[in-house]
Amino acid sequence: MIQAPPDRAPMTDTPLNRIRNFSIVAHIDHGKSTLADRLIQSTGTVALRDMKEQMLDSMDIERERGITIKAQTVRIHYKAQDGETYVLNLMDTPGHVDFAYEVSRSLAACEGSLLVVDASQGVEAQTLANVYQAIDANHEIVPVLNKIDLPAAEPERVKQQIEDVIGLDASQAVEISAKTGLNIEGVLEAIVTRLPPPTGDAKAPTKALLVDSWYDSYLGVVILVRIKDGHLRKGQKIRMMSNGATYTVDQVGVFTPKMVPVDSLGPGEMGYLTAAMKTVADTSVGDTITDDRNPAAEALPGFKDSIPVVWCGLYPVDADDFDKLRDALGKLRLNDSSFHYEQETSLALGLGYRCGFLGLLHLEIIQERLSREFNLELIATAPSVVYKLRMNSGEVEELHNPADMPDPTRIAAIEEPWIKATVFVPDEHLGAILTLCNERRGQQVELTYVGTRAMAVYRLPLNEVVFDFYDRLKSVSRGYASFDYVMDGYAESDLVKISILVNNEPVDALSFMAHRSAADKRGRQICEKLKELIPRQLFKIPIQAAIGGRVIARETISALSKDVTAKCYGGDISRKRKLLDKQKEGKKKMRQFGKVEIPQSAFIAALKMDA
């Protein structure tokens, strides 16, 4: 974000009762970002000519995929029907379950939520998940029925659903179309009249919540704050309460949504600060920022740590990029505290990082951001959940990487993580969903109907979900099922580690865990896939899947049948040599397995496959 001169005189010391802070929450695609656009537009915060659709989705990857990944904050002014001008700080949040942590942090910075529900779709899995989070955060909640311009919109039925499924009073729900701009005024009035103002003490020592942080190429580290008590001023010496580190504030400002500097931020306000912070370690989300000379007595409760549920290794394709990868991970982590990483080494792939994510979409997005924003070519190993190994010695070890699996004879039992999944699905697709859940070792907990939609609650091993469950769910329900989950403890299970051997050498990056009942099938699938992916070479290449020393699947890549040009070269030997030199250059992008070479691209493709 580039700094621009203020659009209007910065108002900073707004009386608390003229401030409203709220999050917009909803299921994916129900129209949060579009509603944010309309709110920004109708209050004249951004000139009409500068408006674009879902303008808060500022990352390329968000615009391309049409989804919100990062929560975004905008400060708008609204002259209400009561004649007063209010400051509204809105936070647009992502809808996808993998980014629930973004939602929870936004909620902690606000007092109220707009619960957007698509009036043609009704309540979906993430509607439920997000509204429960908002209730937990003690939010006042205003239901908003969106997309009533659609012929399929059924506002009355959806209101009933909100009452039945969520237990929320929907009689006062605001009916709008974010797309056409219908009744945006109604939303603004509801915000002002129905959501509570923030509380706070302007005279108390500074107390601000560190909500988010990111790296800006002009400003360096930028921190998003919510002021609880006191003020934040330019030049102020601040202290981070978690570690006592102190900084001098360079700049404070607000989002219009451009970053605009102001002199100070008062209680109840949201804005940013910069203070020559260098590293991730300097900023931890949920921390409390206070005044160094006049510190607050007690820190704010902060955030629950997010616990990664899916891990995979990330390796630079070019080993020389390792340092670049480390820097890039540091910068991304600054912007996404739900993502974890630690260094590791792989025999096949060299030096890299084992990274933890909140889900597969999260994994995919981080990987894509690394390659786009930092120009890194990466290989990701097969995703794995975290297993607990109960050793004979009585100790419990956590296994993040199947390659690290100890000798099974030392293990008394393996436990795997389970989830409780909630699936909303129209009647006619329920059968397919139940079959899918059963195939994935699911246990039914609850099955209820709301009108023509069923809500199925299942316990499932997370392992069965991380690979392709979401895609399968969408495909068997023709896109109509929605899905959300929460972690639901660990349970012992008959799990085995499957190793993949190429030319009789184990490829650590390809090993994975599976339930014994699915081991043969999964082993076969990956061997077949590799056979397709690895080009024929001078030597026959055996590919095997094995559990310990026992081979459960085998394929052989036959040797290349012919590779010579029966051609007339005359005296032009240079051309032939240059061709050879190029081939040799290409071999640098290969991984050597004895005499066999496997192109990087084959690994990447094998790892991408839906298991």
Partner 1 sequence: MEPLALYLHWPFCASKCPYCDFNSHVREGGVDHARFRAALRRELAHEAARLGRRPLASIFFGGGTPSLMEPETVAALIADARAHFDAAPDMEVTLEANPTSVETDKLRAFAQAGVNRASLGVQSLDAEALRFLGRQHDAPHAVAALEKARAIFPRLSFDLIYARPGQEEAAWRAELRQALALAADHLSLYQLTIEPGTRFFTEHARGAFALPAEDDAARMYEATAEEAARHGLAAYEVSNYAKPGAESRHNLAYWRYGDYLGIGPGAHQRVLAEGEMHAIRRHRAPEEWAARVEQHGHGAVESTTLTPAERGREAMLMGLRLAEGVDPARVEARAGLAFARIVDAAMLTALLEEGYLEWVEGRLVATIEGRVRLDALLPVLLR
Ligand X SMILES: Nc1nc2c(ncn2[C@@H]2O[C@H](COP(=O)(O)OP(=O)(O)OP(=O)(O)O)[C@@H](O)[C@H]2O)c(=O)[nH]1
Ligand Y SMILES: C[S@@+](CC[C@H](N)C(=O)[O-])C[C@H]1O[C@@H](n2cnc3c(N)ncnc32)[C@H](O)[C@@H]1O
Residue 362 sits at the vertex; the CA angle it makes with 222 and 337, to the nearest 5 degrees, is 35
Shortest distance in whole angstroms from residue 598 CB to partner 1: 14
Shortest distance in whole angstroms from residue 124 CB to ligand X: 11
- Residue with nearest beta carbon to ligand Y: 568
The rounded distance, in Å, linking the Cα atoms of 356 and 400 is 9
Amino acid code (one letter) for 139: H
Interaction partner, residue 144 (Mg ion, ligand Y, ligand X, none; CB < 5-8 Å by kind): none
Tokens of 80: 């209400």
DSSP state for residue 421 in the 8-state scheme: E
What value does the CA radius of gyration of the chain take, rounded to a whole number of Å?
Answer: 27
Shortest distance in whole angstroms from residue 570 CB to partner 1: 6
Q: Work out whether strand 112-118 and strand 140-146 pair parallel, antiparallel, or are unpaired.
A: parallel
From 12, 41, 68, 104, residue interacting with Mg ion (rule: CB under 5 A): 68
Q: Which is nearer to ligand Y, 167 or 571 (CB)?
A: 571
Residue 68 in contact with ligand X, rule: CB under 6 A: yes
Helix (H, G, I), strand (E, B) or coil at 583: helix
Residue 564 in contact with ligand Y, rule: CB under 6 A: no
Interaction partner, residue 568 (ligand Y, Mg ion, ligand X, none; CB < 5-8 Å by kind): ligand Y
Residue 320 in contact with partner 1, rule: CB under 8 A: no
The rounded distance, in Å, linking the Cα atoms of 378 and 370 is 8
CA-to-CA separations, 331 to 72, 162, 270, 339, 462, in angstroms, rounded: 18, 40, 23, 11, 29
From 398, 407, 572, 588, residue interacting with partner 1 (rule: CB under 8 A): 572
Residue 121 in contact with ligand X, rule: CB under 6 A: no
DSSP state for residue 151 in the 8-state scheme: T
Q: Which is nearer to ligand Y, 319 or 579 (CB)?
A: 579
From 2, 564, 568, 573, residue interacting with ligand Y (rule: CB under 6 A): 568
Shortest distance in whole angstroms from residue 541 CB to partner 1: 12
The answer to whether the Cα torsion of 175, 93, 28, 46 is positive or negative is positive
Contacting partner 1 within 71-110 (CB under 8 A): none
Q: Where are the beta strands (DSSP E) in 72-165?
A: 72-79, 85-92, 112-118, 140-146
The site map against ligand X for 304-343 (x = CB under 6 A) is: ----------------------------------------
Helix (H, G, I), strand (E, B) or coil at 202: coil
Contacting partner 1 within 528-557 (CB under 8 A): 537-539
Residue 588 in contact with partner 1, rule: CB under 8 A: no
Residue 177 in contact with ligand X, rule: CB under 6 A: yes
From 30, 331, 400, 472, residue interacting with ligand X (rule: CB under 6 A): 30
Count of residues in the chain: 611
Point out which residues pair with 335 in neighbouring strands. Answer: none
DSSP state for residue 83 in the 8-state scheme: S
- How many residues lie near partner 1 (CB under 8 A)? 27
Shortest distance in whole angstroms from residue 559 CB to partner 1: 8
Residue 95 in contact with ligand X, rule: CB under 6 A: yes
DSSP state for residue 222 in the 8-state scheme: E
Contact stretch for ligand X (CB under 6 A) within 22-30, 78-86, 189-197, 330-338: 22-30
CB atoms within 10 A of CB 279: 11
Binding residues for ligand X, rule: CB under 6 A, are 26, 28-34, 54, 66-68, 94-95, 146-147, 149-150, 177-179
